[in-house]
Every structure is written in C-alpha cells, then in structure tokens.
Amino acid sequence: MEIIQQTTMQELAREVFQIESDSILKLKDRIDSNLEKAISVIIGSKGRIIVTGMGKSGLIGRKIAATLSSTGTPAYFLHPAESTHGDSGIITRDDVVIAISNSGETTELLNLLPLIKRFEVPLIAFAGNKNSTLGKCADIYFDISVEKEACPLGKAPTASTTATLAMGDALAICLLKKRGFSTEDFLLYHPSGTLGKGVLYMVKDLMLKDTNLLPIAHEEDTFLETVDLISKKRLGCALIVDSQNKLTGLITDGDIRRILLRYPDISVLRTKFVMTKNPKTISSEDMASKALALMEKYSITSLAVCDEDDCPIGLIHIHDLLRAGVA
C-alpha cells in the first residue's frame, strides 16, 4: 500500500512540474511589441519601478522588485493594502508602476489606479485577463494567464505565480542587457558575498607592494642565493628579473623540491636555468576576483603583479585573498 501511495505522490509531483513548465513555455508565444514598449518606458524613466500586488501576487512582486534592483533597475515593492493608508506616497510622477493581479480585479490594487492615473504614471500590468479592469487601465499589458493551476483544487496560485515570476525575470534580464549591465556592476550590488568582495577589492588594494619585502631575484643569481632569498622573505616564491628588471621567471617552494631531486649538484646552478619561465601575472588595476580565478584555474597560490613594462611591482598571495574574504 505504501509503494502505491509513494508512486502516486511521485506522479503528482511530476504533473505539477509539467503544468508549471507548460505555463512558462506558453509565455514565449505572447512576447510582442509590449516588451519593447515596457523597456523603453522603464529606461526613459527618471524614477524607479514600483511593483505592487496582493497576496501571492505580492510575494512574487517582491521577488521581481528584488531581481530588478540587483540587475541595475532600482525597484521597490508597495503593498496595495497599505498604499491607501499613506504608503502610496512612495509613488512619484517620475516612476513606473508594475501591477500584478491574475484576475485583474483585485480590489486593493484597483484602489491605486486613480492615483496612478492622476500622476500620469506609466502602468504596466501583469494580469491574466486583458479585459479586466486592470488590463483595460494599463498602458502596457503582459498576459500571464494559465490554462490551469497545478493545484488539484484549481484554487491555490501555483502555475500562475510561476508564469508571473518568469515574465518578471524576462523583463529584468532584457533591461540588464539594454543597460549594458556588467558582471562587475552585478557584484557591486552584492558586496557581502565572496564574489562581491572580489569586485570591491582591486589587486592593488591587497597585494604586497613594499619593495623591501618583495622576493626579487636576478637571473644570474645562483640557485642557492635564490633559495636563501625565498627563505628570508618567507613568501614561498621568488620573482626572477633580467638586467632590465623585467619579470622573466618564478621559483616556488615546490620548484625547489623538484630541482633538488633532479640535480645532484646544485652548487653550480644558475637561477635562469631552473626557473619557471613566463609565469602568470596580473595587473594592479585588475579586480581581486580575477586574481582568484587565475589561481584556481592554474592551481597556483600567488601571482606576480607587473606594470605595463612587465616589471614586478607587487605580489598577491592566496592568503591575501583569504584575509579579505575574497577566497
């Protein structure tokens, strides 16, 4: 009996996925010139996006507002029930309103319409009925109707809220693209996360730049002299330069072990013959996140920081990134 019940629940779950995925896919055929109109209105606005919706639509509206804000389009959520008790003061004449209601007849939402029209604020409607009060009053209409909800009772907003969220995501991503919103822009809005710290910090903010502390050796130094330098500087590596102070190589603690195993007589070795040539470098103007990405890609723990003439001016270590919370 338990096996039958379990199979039934699995089938029901799969049916929910099917209904909700179908509701999203059907939105593809509804994308028309209203999308370009909405983008044009929002880009041309001097204010913010005010997203409003009641109940489950309100919860989806909060998520849409959050997604818009984090992708370069400042947005706020306005609770329609609170709006008629003073909160509608958040709406200015420079704003754009996105109102969400599957029926298009939500009373609390409709109470906002006189203010929106009086201020001549552009109204974008996400509704399931174009002939509803909200649909008729909207300047731009997005059809988020669904054939049926995933709920067996046909009552709980499920497929309709999923479709609404997807439409909001589509609008946000189109705006992101239109604005030329970059990875760095996105990360700047997320400063508390690891990636955010990686873009808030530049390499020059974290690197070792004291020339007296930098482990710089010369190509013509003996290998033993370079090993001694690495031991004294205690940074696990040495930056090797030529006569013009250009970086030409690198020797790390790991290299030392490999060299000792390979050469029985190290007393005659010159640094230039055993160094790793053309080491990975980075600019002081690069983001710390780029330094971390390079270290992860090449499985290394430090990078030489060079100027435009390929002369070493610093060193950034994985420990520097760890201390800053980047790694």
The helix or strand, by DSSP H or E, that contains position 304, with its residue range, turns out to be strand 302-306
Beta bridge partners of 51: 77, 98
Pairing of strands 49-53, 96-101: parallel
Distance CA 33, CA 182 (A): 26
Distance CA 81, CA 110 (A): 10
Is pLDDT of 313 > 70? yes
Express each pLDDT in 117-172 by its tens digit: 989 999 999 999 999 999 999 999 999 999 999 988 888 899 999 999 999 999 99
Distance CA 104, CA 327 (A): 48
| Residues 70 and 176 sit within 8 Å (Cβ to Cβ) | no
Q: What would you report as the CA-atom Rg of the chain, rounded to the nearest whole angstrom?
A: 30
Q: Can you give the pLDDT at residue 7? A: 64
Distance CA 130, CA 136 (A): 6
Q: Does domain 2-181 have CATH number 2.60.40.420?
A: no
Homologous superfamily (CATH) for 200-324: CBS-domain (3.10.580.10)
Contacts with 272 (C-beta within 8 Å, 6 or more apart), sequence order = 219, 220, 240, 248, 249
pLDDT band at 323 (very low <50, low <70, confident <90, very high): confident
Express each pLDDT in 184-209 by its tens digit: 666 655 555 555 555 578 899 999 99
Mean pLDDT of all residues belonging to the chain: 90
| Phi-psi label, residue 97: left if phi above 0, alpha if psi -120 to 50, beta otherwise | beta
Please tell me what DSSP assigns to residue 97: E
Q: Can you give the pLDDT at residue 201? A: 83
pLDDT band at 327 (very low <50, low <70, confident <90, very high): low
Q: Phi/psi at 127 (nearest 5 deg)? A: -145, 165
Does the pTM surpass 0.85? The reply is no
Distance CA 107, CA 105 (A): 6
Taking residues 22-35, report their average pLDDT: 95
Is pLDDT of 181 > 80? no
| Residues 268 and 291 sit within 8 Å (Cβ to Cβ) | no
pLDDT > 90: percent of the chain: 71
More confident call, 51 vs 89: 51
Map out the domains of the chain as residue ranges: 2-181, 200-324
Q: Can you give the pLDDT at residue 193? A: 54
Express each pLDDT in 62-117 by its tens digit: 999 999 988 889 999 999 888 766 667 788 999 999 999 999 999 999 999 999 99
pLDDT band at 61 (very low <50, low <70, confident <90, very high): very high
Distance CA 108, CA 91 (A): 16
| Residues 275 and 247 sit within 8 Å (Cβ to Cβ) | no
Q: Phi/psi at 292 (nearest 5 deg)? A: -65, -45
